[in-house]
Amino acid sequence: MRDDAGMVEIDDKIAAARRKQLKAFMDARGLKARPWAIAAGLKSDGTIRNFLKGLTGTLTQNTVERLARAAQVPVAAIFPDAPLDAQGPMAPGVATVDIHNNADPRGLVAARNVPAVSFLQDRRQGLARDLPIRGHTKAGKEGFFIDQGETWGFAMRPETLRGVAEAYAVRVHDDSMSPRYEPGTVLLVDPFRQPKPGDNVIIQLTDGQAFVKVLARRAAGIVTCSQFNPKKTIEYKQSKVKSVHLVVGVDYLER
């Protein structure tokens, strides 16, 4: 549902019903999360487990379609009454919600300083898909690289980034921020908004390498961040940090 401020909230009852449907489907066929995830080509079984536990409130259309193909059934066999947009995400059957700025990745609440965005509805309103996706992986490196001038696709530009010419998007390349951001998720970035402790950020180093992390603090020449998988704290020397940019949203259609 949508409140007066335009925020998108998850209907907990519908989300709970979807979890029951998924569990019933798995139980009826003797499916286990790990082998099913491997058969579906997912990076880990965390996507399935976290949804079943209620740690996350959505499954992307791409994930659901992969799981259905691996089980050799149509999507409707897993979620019989959930709507499916051929070009968008599957919530499934609930409004998508951006939890990118929530300090607790288990909480299904909207960001405290950026309204959540429903891209399925925004597409119908004619939002431009002109936000350049930067970044690619290089062998032997832990992060990804942002090449100035190189574009690897385009994401939808939400109202929060309209008129921000230098705004960009990046694709998550690993599961270090799971369950908040799974591999393949496209993050929307505002290079001008000042990030605060607890915000999700893109840390770009002077060698071009970049990382998706949670900003903890900046002090004594050190930029301290954290991640979820595995849970740990990372420190970067300020002299090696080129930029710290705020993640302001997710393009759920680009996956």
Parallel/antiparallel/unpaired status of strands 231-237 and 144-145 = unpaired
Parallel/antiparallel/unpaired status of strands 186-190 and 241-251 = antiparallel
Exposure of 140 by Cβ count < 10 A (0-12 exposed, 13-18 middle, 19+ buried)?
exposed
Q: Write down the pLDDT at residue 212.
A: 94
Tell me the torsion sign for CA atoms 38, 40, 41, 46: negative
Domain 126-251: CATH architecture, name and number where available:
Ribbon (2.10)
Q: Write down the pLDDT at residue 205.
A: 92
Q: Which of 87, 44, 83, 45 is nearest to 62 (CA)?
A: 87
What would the pLDDT profile of 33-83 be if each residue is shown by its tens digit? 888 888 888 878 888 988 888 887 777 777 888 888 888 788 888 887 665
Q: Looking at the domain that runs over 12-97, which CATH code has it been given?
A: 1.10.260.40
What would the pLDDT profile of 183-234 be if each residue is shown by its tens digit? 888 999 999 999 999 999 999 999 888 999 999 999 999 999 999 999 999 9
Locate 141 and state its tokens.
């490196």
Question: Helix, strand, or coil here: 215?
Answer: strand
- Single pTM value for the model: 0.53
Q: What is the DSSP string of 36-100?
A: HHHHHT-S-THHHHHHHHTS-----HHHHHHHHHHHTS-HHHHSTT----TTS---SSS-----T
What 8-state DSSP symbol labels residue 176? T
Domain ranges of the chain: 12-97, 126-251
Locate 51 and state its tokens.
């949804």
pLDDT over 70 at 242, yes or no: yes
Residue 154 phi/psi, 5-degree rounding, is: -135, 140
What value does the mean pLDDT take over residues 9-38? 80
Tell me the torsion sign for CA atoms 74, 78, 83, 89: negative
Q: Tell me the CA end-to-end span of the chain in Å, nearest whole number.
A: 23
Measured between alpha carbons, how far is 218 from 248 in angstroms, rounded to an integer? 20
